[in-house]
Structure 1
Amino acid sequence: MKHLRCFLLSGILLFCCMQDVIYAQSATFRTIPEPLRGYWQFKTNNVSDWNGPLIGENFVEALYTVFQVEQMEKEADGSYLFHLRNQNGNKMDFRFTPISEDSAILFYQGWKEPKHCVRKLIPDHTEMLTPTTLPDIVYKKWVKGLSGNVLYEFTRDGKLLYDGKTWDIVSAGHFLNKEYRLLAKNGEQYKLFYLSFPFPGSMKVAAELQSETVFPIATSRPEVYAITGCLVNPATGDWVIGFFENFAVYQCRFWDYESIRTKKNKTTILLKSGTDRLAIQMKRNNETSCTLKFGKEKPQAYNFCDSQRLPDYPQADNTPFIDNGYRTDSVTITGYLRNLPSDRPFEITVPDMVTGREVKYYTDIDSLGRFSIRFPVLNSHNIFIDWGRTTIWTCVEPGETYFLFADFAERKKLFMGDKSRFLNELLTYESPREYLNYDEEQKRSNLEYLHKTQERTQRKITYREKFLREHPLLSKKFRYYTENAIRYDVASDLMQRRFNVNRNKQEHLDKEFMDYVDSVCYPHPVQPYTLFRDYGSFMRDYVGYLGDIVPAKQNTNVTPSRLKEIYNELDAKGTIKLSAEEKAALHDFCEIQKKIDSLSVSKADSLEIIAYAEKLKPNIEVIQYLVSRDNLLNEHIQTEMYLNATNQSLAIIDSLQMDANLREILKTNCYYTILQGTHKELPDILMDRLKKEVSNPSLLTYVMNQQQKYEKISNKAIEYPESLMPNEPLAEITDGEQLFRKIIEPYKGKVIYLDVWGTWCGPCKDMMQHAGKIKKLFAGKDVVFLYLCNHSSDKSWRNIIKEYGLASKSAVHYNLPDKQQNAIERFLGVRSFPTYMLIDKEGNIVNREAPRPVMEDQLLNAVYKELEK
């Protein structure tokens, strides 16, 4: 059930028409005639959308909310007009027009048009239950928070204790095997409850478009509620221990309760963790404070943390971030996620400065909401914690262990650990966010963008200075981090403007623009460099821009003599075996071309030049076959282009003022980028050069691991090799439409999902990570996955197919020569990569902007729409 999403569209219209009133329970509600009652349903696009009301004794459901009937009028045409009000006092009108015994026309206030519906004995996709046959897990006392106060209690006789009242469960159903829907009654009042269990050990209750997650009361150890809470040492400001229903947290570890004994306001707690035991004495002073004695230590005062964040630390701290010299180490984060909104695995995202990519690490969350994850970092490092759910942007230090507690119902987030102070301080700070319209910003000139950026930056600086004045004891780490966060957020955005200048026209960013970058952004880099994702992004774009404005020197034209030289080298290495005919053709092609060139220079008779050109034809046919046979020439040219680009980037890095660590990081990125761009191993000449220029073993490992990966992939056989189609049967076709029709001809009667991509295209490869899952969705269906690869070497093409597992019984792959691929793309109107299209069973292109593989639901609907025709 999409409680909020489906409510937004029609609900906005609906409630705009309502009036807010002070709600007072009427003595009685109007009774609805029996023939109108029941489940009335209309067609919806998605099975989980709201599909019509339940009309009961004195109420009408609208968008999962019960509205009681205050007035009811029968009109001359047989329609019934209901005046409704919900428990919040919101009013609305509802018109019901019977057509027959089991069909009617519905119209809610705020709708654009009425809907035809039919009455159902049982709602669609629902298994009806009796009020006493709910799942066993429901029959508990359910609490929210750590107070032990019971919010919901279901009893075996079909009762619900809620809001201080006893409700009779009138009906119950299990919808789509994912949630239980209950209609409950208290006196004349009805209420709908939706129960789901998204995570073991908790229950989500939704009613009146509000939802909350609750937990079973700790019936096996109810005495725990005398101590539950997060306790902070007011002398240091640290969160020291957390007492929860099923376990305690201390020193970043989980501890089980052996016993809890309370006498008056004193409690003795015995904890165990593996073979370790810990005795704690607690004396409650009041609701907010207590005294704790750990083992034989002296008693100390502690405060319960009832706020969403820790209070300010009471002492100054001038400790800098650890700088380990960029040696790979690990970080451990253990945690407890309470009132989880979803059960997906816990995720850590590490923006990697060396690779320029974000690396994700995952771990499962147990039935109590606990997890532990260990991941590598190169130094003190910017990370994103569980983005989209916990959503914490912070920085961790190598070798450290942290504990995270997040309560999603209370919106509380706390860190525990020796180095957790900075993480807790950063949680309290929210820099002003200005959401910019990308299209509008793109219309600005670069100087206009610079000036707007400077204005936004000043606002952030002013806000930060005010925050520092209000919190004078914030740590040195916090001050350093937030200052540089502003600087490199600006720097990263500014250098992205490099893509707004036309390199082909030798355009440059304005002098004022680059003067600002060179004076404010480039000098005095953040230390360590890995503290910010934005710093790595800035430096890559800075070096890239300096390369962009250098006049292009490389010439990819292949002369006859160079062609001969390339193929002789490949033959000498054993990459290919040239026949005597091919060797002779290369030699003659070279010699005849030299003669033609000399005749052209001497302005010889045109007939003589034409005569020599005629002698080239037999050689050209042999050479054309040689070039098209294995795509090695294209691969060789691409490698040379990468080498030239790398040499240029390395020269720029050497020309800039920076320390050895930064120089090696940026150079490692150059080599790694080639590997990721080509998806094949680096040639020996580059590997030897890398080892001379990069001495840091952790940095070398980045490239060595990828090198070994692609060596293995290159030697790996392709599964389903029959899905890689030969080009020879298409060799004579030059027209794009004819090529396309010939390619899809064997698949008439099937739906084709077309992917136009390139091995050089990062977004293409990002989408391919989802390809396997999409193929499983359509397994056994008449669906063909057609891949057309753009301007890619044969080896890179095959390696990516192997790397992402793209070959299958339902997949078809083409890597056509550039001229043929370009012809097809012109016919299809391809303007960007990747491009996805849907082709129906008759071979017609029905969607030129088909959903991407990551858009699972949309793609599922689009393909099934064609399959069902």
Structure 2
Amino acid sequence: MKISYCLICFLLISFSVFPQNSPQRKIKHTWYSTDGRNELRLLLADDFALYQSQIWEMDSIQPGKYLLKNLDHEKQISISKAGENFFLEEGAVKISVQPEKSTNLKTRQVGQTDVSDSFFKKDQVLLQGLIVPKDSMPTTVSVIYNHAFGEGQRQFSSSVDDQGRFKLIFPLDYPQEVMVRAGSAIFTFFSKPGAQQAMVVYEKSFVNGIEAWTTLKELDFMGDLAVENEERRLLDPEFMKVRDYFVTDSLQKALEPMDFLKYRIGLMEKHQAFFNSYFDSIPVSPLTKEISLRGARIYAANDLRRYIWLHGGINEGRLNPVDVPDSYLQEVEKLMTGDLADLMAPDYAGLIREFTMPIQPSEMKSLIGKMDEMTYDFFKKQELNSAQSEAVDAWYDQIKKGVPRDSLILSEEYKSLSKTYLNQLSDFFLEVQWPHLLAKIQDLELIPRSSVIATYLDMNYQSVGKEIPLSIQNQLEEINLEPRILAIIREEIEDFERGKNERFVEWVSIAANGENILSQLKDKNPGKVIYVDVWATWCGPCISEFKHAATLKKDAPEGVVFAYICAQSERGAFENLVKKFGLEGEHFFLSQTEFEQFDKEFKITGFPTYLILTKEGKLIREGIHRPSSGDQLIRQLQEFVSR
């Protein structure tokens, strides 16, 4: 009878204190803040929890009390109820929570995140979370985002386990919008360098087609910027209802330039009026307001630049760009301010790329004309036989007469010459484009001007493996670029120069594979203390620590081996940095699959991570000093060696 009474009490407590979520979610309970911000505070599943932006293994001590474990860390938390109120407790900390999100948001508290010190801050984002699948579990989750100083998108992916859990670590240089893709769920969230964030994605709330734009997605956010991301979750589908995307798309093709300019500026003002009205109706954080209003302006500027190549439509599979008046371009430039915070606008990187490319027919005609002159002069300086010289003259005569390029009659001699000198000829367009670009950006503010230059150099040189000419390098100081953007360009130039040296550092050992890393190290270095540095090529703090490597190794006690584990990086960048800092030691370059296996065992929460493998083969991961700590690390290593 006593056992039955206890069981009844347990069931009553479970159903009264802990509301049951729908069984298909495989989530037992979710708890949110009670101030209207709807920040996820705790998620409980069968044997794990999402708490403080981390995934924890979980044991239920007794109803309402839980032990959370994450490697060497343990936390005991509890959920209690007093009257109609619920409380989440950890030690002396007790906060009010509720099992559902608030629906009355008129008096909600708003986010107060300040991102002003997060620009040009090379750091990483630790994103963890849970996918609740619609049908079968997605196998991967990816984050995708643009960069204001380069051409391509950046993408990082990770596997999703059979319970829907995932973890991603990716670099970020400034606060911006990031896209997430997991199965049929595609959405964006806002992040910043150094953020620790978590989310729960309910895939069934995502629909296909145009309806997806205005459908409210079911997402939970935890950790940094959780409140702002919850605000944007509610705001975005409302904005999509007034975005007028399809109307704008049709008018881009129908209206003349100045008419489209008038329409698009008017639409921008409509968007800004919508945001201001929304902000008057419901409390919203300063950051959400700023991103929205800046985004409306940059979105308009991007649409106006896109008009140039969209207005003419497609003919025979090719776009037909059009010319626009100078006054049109001047109005677009007015929308490109010198505020650093414009980088946060979702369309900023796209706008910079649009501005970088010479799209207008008049631009292309001028540039190609100059390129043809350079080509003719180049050929005339070569030692050509009479047939080749006549072929060049015949080609250039047609050019001077204005024969369309697709109607040129090219002899076999000319085709052969063009093939022989292809590398030299292909550089001529870049040579004439550079001064054109400098003239084009002279009236831009400092930040967009610097962004255009960085993007141009990445687009035409670094990303395609070409060396930036010295003539351009020597002009960079004269252009008056934002110093931090100029430093990024200079660093990439140095990296390229170093990368040309094919000889690898001769005393560096690179493991053949990343399997059973610690076993490999122990077997190869018996009786040694092994200092392990887990790093990534894009990790600013990792690279800063490398500056202390030489001093560390000079002062370290005998019997210490240094090992480096590089993950989530490109092989070329890995080799480049090892050369740059002369990282003597044993190296492991992990594939994504190898890193995920390594991470399952060691729960890496960010880069850099420092570990020590003792002489006895025991792994120590807590309290390990960084190379920059100097004598502190030396004393720590001496202590392990002397044991």
Same-fold call, TM cutoff 0.5: yes
Q: What is the distance in 2 between the residues matched to 1:500 and 1:369?
A: 41
Q: Does 1:467 align with 2:278?
A: yes
Q: What is the distance in 1 between the residues matched to 2:285 and 2:181?
A: 25
Q: Does 1:532 align with 2:324?
A: no
Does the Cα contact within 8 Å between 1:322 and 1:398 map onto a contact in 2? no
Larger Rg over CA atoms:
1
- TM superposition shift of 1:383: 1.5
1:597-636 paired onto structure 2 within 5 Å:
624=413, 628=416, 631-636=419-424
Residue type matched to 1:358 in 2? Q
Taking a change above 3 Å as real, the CA distance of residues 511 and 376 of structure 1, as seen in their structure-2 partners, is: same
**Can you give the 5+ residue segments of structure 1 that lack an aligned partner in the other structure?**
1-145, 152-212, 219-224, 568-582, 598-620, 713-869
Q: SS state of the match for residue 96, structure 2?
A: strand
Q: In structure 2, what is the equivalent of residue 95 of structure 1? A: none
Q: In structure 2, what is the equivalent of residue 208 of structure 1? A: none
- TM superposition shift of 1:453: 2.5
Q: What is the distance in 2 between the residues matched to 1:337 and 1:506?
A: 43
Q: Does 1:259 align with 2:75?
A: no
Does the Cα contact within 8 Å between 1:237 and 1:313 map onto a contact in 2? no
Match of 1:426 among 217, 224, 232: 232
Deviations 1:21-72 (A, max 9, x none): xxxxxxxxxxxxxxxxxxxxxxxxxxxxxxxxxxxxxxxxxxxxxxxxxxxx
Does the Cα contact within 8 Å between 2:113 and 2:225 map onto a contact in 1? no
Q: RMSD of aligned C-alpha atoms?
A: 4.1
Q: In structure 2, what is the equivalent of residue 643 of structure 1? A: 431
Q: What is the distance in 2 between the residues matched to 1:677 and 1:539?
A: 16
Q: In structure 1, what is the equivalent of residue 86 of structure 2? A: 290
Q: SS state of the match for residue 467, structure 1?
A: helix
Q: Does 1:248 align with 2:59?
A: no
Match of 2:191 among 392, 396, 410: 396
Taking a change above 3 Å as real, the CA distance of residues 679 and 465 of structure 1, as seen in their structure-2 partners, is: same
Match of 2:115 among 313, 321, 338: 321
Larger proportion of helix? 2
Q: What is the distance in 1 between the residues matched to 2:198 and 2:376?
A: 66
Residue type matched to 1:656 in 2? D
Q: What is the distance in 1 between the residues matched to 2:290 and 2:21?
A: 44
Match of 1:277 among 55, 60, 74: 74
Residue type matched to 1:556 in 2? D
Q: In structure 2, what is the equivalent of residue 333 of structure 1? A: 127
- TM superposition shift of 1:147: 5.5
Q: What is the distance in 1 between the residues matched to 2:156 and 2:451?
A: 22
Residue type matched to 1:278 in 2? K
Match of 2:455 among 621, 645, 669: 669
Taking a change above 3 Å as real, the CA distance of residues 322 and 401 of structure 1, as seen in their structure-2 partners, is: farther
Taking a change above 3 Å as real, the CA distance of residues 698 and 387 of structure 1, as seen in their structure-2 partners, is: farther
Residue type matched to 2:138 in 1? D
Match of 1:517 among 323, 332, 336: 332
Corresponding residue pairs, total: 438
TM-score by length of 1: 0.44
Does the Cα contact within 8 Å between 1:345 and 1:363 map onto a contact in 2? yes
Q: What is the distance in 2 between the residues matched to 1:312 and 1:363?
A: 38
Q: SS state of the match for residue 235, structure 2?
A: coil
Match of 1:698 among 488, 496, 499: 488
- TM superposition shift of 1:534: 1.4
**Can you give the 5+ residue segments of structure 2 that lack an aligned partner in the other structure?**
1-17, 206-216, 313-319, 398-410, 503-643
Deviations 1:402-441 (A, max 9, x none): 1111223465212111332222211110213324164564
Does the Cα contact within 8 Å between 2:308 and 2:322 map onto a contact in 1? no
Does the Cα contact within 8 Å between 2:295 and 2:345 map onto a contact in 1? yes
1:137-286 paired onto structure 2 within 5 Å:
213=24, 215=26, 225=28, 228-234=29-35, 238-262=39-63, 267-285=64-82
Larger proportion of strand? 1
Q: What is the distance in 1 between the residues matched to 2:43 and 2:491?
A: 40
Q: Does 1:305 align with 2:108?
A: no
Q: In structure 1, what is the equivalent of residue 586 of structure 2? A: none
Q: What is the distance in 2 between the residues matched to 1:710 and 1:688?
A: 20
Q: What is the distance in 2 between the residues matched to 1:676 and 1:545?
A: 19
Q: What is the distance in 1 between the residues matched to 2:298 and 2:331?
A: 13
Q: In structure 1, what is the equivalent of residue 147 of structure 2? A: 352
Taking a change above 3 Å as real, the CA distance of residues 587 and 545 of structure 1, as seen in their structure-2 partners, is: closer
More displaced 10-residue stretch of structure 1: 643-652 or 343-352: 643-652
Taking a change above 3 Å as real, the CA distance of residues 310 and 231 of structure 1, as seen in their structure-2 partners, is: farther
Taking a change above 3 Å as real, the CA distance of residues 413 and 628 of structure 1, as seen in their structure-2 partners, is: same
Q: What is the distance in 1 between the residues matched to 2:388 and 2:21?
A: 94
Does the Cα contact within 8 Å between 2:57 and 2:68 map onto a contact in 1? yes
Q: What is the distance in 1 between the residues matched to 2:388 and 2:151?
A: 48
Residue type matched to 2:62 in 1? R
Q: What is the distance in 2 between the residues matched to 1:272 and 1:506?
A: 59
Q: In structure 2, what is the equivalent of residue 785 of structure 1? A: none
Taking a change above 3 Å as real, the CA distance of residues 279 and 347 of structure 1, as seen in their structure-2 partners, is: same
Does the Cα contact within 8 Å between 1:238 and 1:313 map onto a contact in 2? no
Q: What is the distance in 2 between the residues matched to 1:692 and 1:587?
A: 45
Does the Cα contact within 8 Å between 2:252 and 2:310 map onto a contact in 1? no
Q: In structure 2, what is the equivalent of residue 446 of structure 1? A: 257
Q: In structure 1, what is the equivalent of residue 297 of structure 2? A: 487
- TM superposition shift of 1:276: 1.7
Q: What is the distance in 2 between the residues matched to 1:540 and 1:630?
A: 30
Does the Cα contact within 8 Å between 2:30 and 2:40 map onto a contact in 1? no
Deviations 1:481-516 (A, max 9, x none): 1111111111110111222689xx997424664454
Q: What is the distance in 1 between the residues matched to 2:109 and 2:297?
A: 27
- TM superposition shift of 1:329: 2.1
- TM superposition shift of 1:457: 3.1
Q: What is the distance in 2 between the residues matched to 1:314 and 1:710?
A: 57
Q: SS state of the match for residue 556, structure 1?
A: helix
Taking a change above 3 Å as real, the CA distance of residues 255 and 394 of structure 1, as seen in their structure-2 partners, is: closer
Q: What is the distance in 1 between the residues matched to 2:263 and 2:342?
A: 27
Q: SS state of the match for residue 429, structure 2?
A: helix
Residue type matched to 1:273 in 2? N
Q: SS state of the match for residue 185, structure 2?
A: coil
Does the Cα contact within 8 Å between 2:39 and 2:222 map onto a contact in 1? yes
Q: In structure 2, what is the equivalent of residue 200 of structure 1? A: none
Could you say which structure has the greater relative contact order, defined with CA pairs below 8 angstroms and 6 or more residues apart?
2
Residue type matched to 2:461 in 1? L
Q: SS state of the match for residue 167, structure 2?
A: strand
Q: What is the distance in 1 between the residues matched to 2:38 and 2:218?
A: 17
